[in-house]
Amino acid sequence: MIAASVSDYRTLARMRLPRFLFEYIDGGSYDEVTLRRNRSDLEAVALRQRVLCNVATLDTSTTLFGERYSLPLGLAPVGIAGLNARRGEIQAVRAAERCGVPFCLSTVSACSLEEVAQYATRPFWFQLYMIRDRAFMTELMTRAWQAGCRTMLFTVDMPLPGSRYRDVRSGLANAPGPRGSLRRALQAVSRPGWFWDVVARGRPLTLGNIAPLLGRKSGLEDFFAWMRANFDPSVTWAELEWVRARWRGTLVVKGVLDAQDAREAINLGADGLVISNHGGRQLDGTPSTARALPAIADAVGGKTTLIVDGGIRSGLDVARMKALGADSTLIGRPWVFALAARGEQGVAHVLSLMNAELQVALALTGHVRAADLSRSALADL
């Protein structure tokens, strides 16, 4: 099968991955209402077609936090993404650099900060969760800085992990002990290509950044147990001040859906925001990011950098989010599906597809620069 779109890569990933990994990436929380809204609300955004404009020279580039990138698009942090292909985060950072876009490493990645840094030729981003062990958080920030990271995405929408029923059904979550391990093992051996690539040739199979805390307990059930025990539900705005005081680089708060929260984050020193509902994986029933974005842009637009994720599957969607008020966008599932299907080449291909789609959207809305997309590009329906 030749992948001509992101949806094709999803199909290929489903064929290649064990069920528990595919469902972990593909699924959302509860009844997945927000997951569906992220797509349906974005698809409903109509752009204003303009004709007979000189669009011979198109510029899709953008500048974020002093760095120039080829697209208003980056690879979002995705937990355990590196298990979808051999040393997956390394392949992803290579693809991102080839295509000139930022890559953000998750706290709970398979490859550690130090391992990814060995293969990165420019600073990559790092995502940090608020956990109970403040000393370990401080150590992670130090490690990230030493690895060359200068932009950190501080995720604030996960005081408790969301209830993701697909993970229960697949045996990934809430299935401790031999029975859960056996279910996952049977799924793994049913995908011999993935098993050979990742399990046989991709060791060590650990969560690189938090491996020192897990010790010998490195199974997936240990990871979920660690999350439940260590994510801190007592977090308040004071913790953002605590992080701001300890991080010397650019601080971006990820997980904002409310304009009041956006203003508060900026007042406490955030350099940027990611408008996000965690891909529909946390509180089900929240607004889509496409619906939440305009009000936040009205409240803080121009005062800070606004990045958005959630439901973005094409360069056309990037144009839609730009028109709604975003400075840039992030994708999660699309790059992980492509990674699972074709590794580094798949991720680079998805980015090239989205670049081409964005150029078409620019040309047919009468724009030559992605930076110029604004609400004037929206159709008045």
Residue type, 187: Q
* Per-residue model confidence as pLDDT tens digits over 63-83: 999 999 999 999 999 999 999
The pair of structure tokens assigned to 325 is: 């008020």
- Give the count of beta carbons closer than 10 Å to the beta carbon of residue 51: 7
- Strands laid side by side in the 250-256 sheet: 73-75, 328-331, 305-308, 272-275, 250-256, 151-155, 125-129, 104-105
The pair of structure tokens assigned to 100 is: 């000139």
CA distance linking residue 107 with residue 114, whole number of Å: 12
Strands 305-308 and 272-275 turn out to be: parallel
Torsional sign, CA 91, 254, 7, 373: negative
* Per-residue model confidence as pLDDT tens digits over 306-348: 999 999 999 999 999 999 999 999 999 999 999 999 999 999 9
Residue type, 334: P
Which of 107-116, 182-191, 247-256 is predicted with the least confidence, judged by mean pLDDT? 182-191
Q: For residue 227, what pLDDT band results from cuts at 50, 70 and 90?
A: confident
Hey, which residues are catalytic here? 278
Which of 151-165, 215-229, 264-278 is predicted with the least confidence, judged by mean pLDDT? 215-229
Exposed, middle or buried, 246 (CB in 10 Å: 0-12/13-18/19+)? Answer: middle
Question: Using an 8 Å Cβ cutoff, are 256 and 276 in contact?
Answer: yes
Instruction: Select 6-342+355-368's CATH number: 3.40.50.720, 2.40.50.140, 3.30.1050.10, 3.20.20.70.
Output: 3.20.20.70
Q: For residue 301, what pLDDT band results from cuts at 50, 70 and 90?
A: confident
Nearest to 220 by CA among 331, 110, 349: 110
Q: For residue 218, what pLDDT band results from cuts at 50, 70 and 90?
A: low
Nearest to 339 by CA among 43, 53, 17, 121: 17
Question: Using an 8 Å Cβ cutoff, are 46 and 37 in contact?
Answer: no
* Per-residue model confidence as pLDDT tens digits over 7-64: 899 999 999 999 999 999 999 999 999 999 999 999 999 999 999 999 999 999 999 9
Strands 67-69 and 62-64 turn out to be: antiparallel
Domain boundaries, the chain: 6-342+355-368
Tell me how far CA of residue 78 lies from CA of 63, 200, 250, 277, 317, in angstroms.
Answer: 23, 23, 20, 14, 20
The pLDDT of residue 380 is: 77
Tell me how far CA of residue 191 lies from CA of 11, 73, 336, in angstroms.
Answer: 14, 32, 17
Q: Which regions of 276-321 does DSSP assign to beta strands (E)? A: 305-308
* Per-residue model confidence as pLDDT tens digits over 157-169: 988 888 888 988 8
Angle between helices 220-230 and 177-189 (to 10 degrees): 130
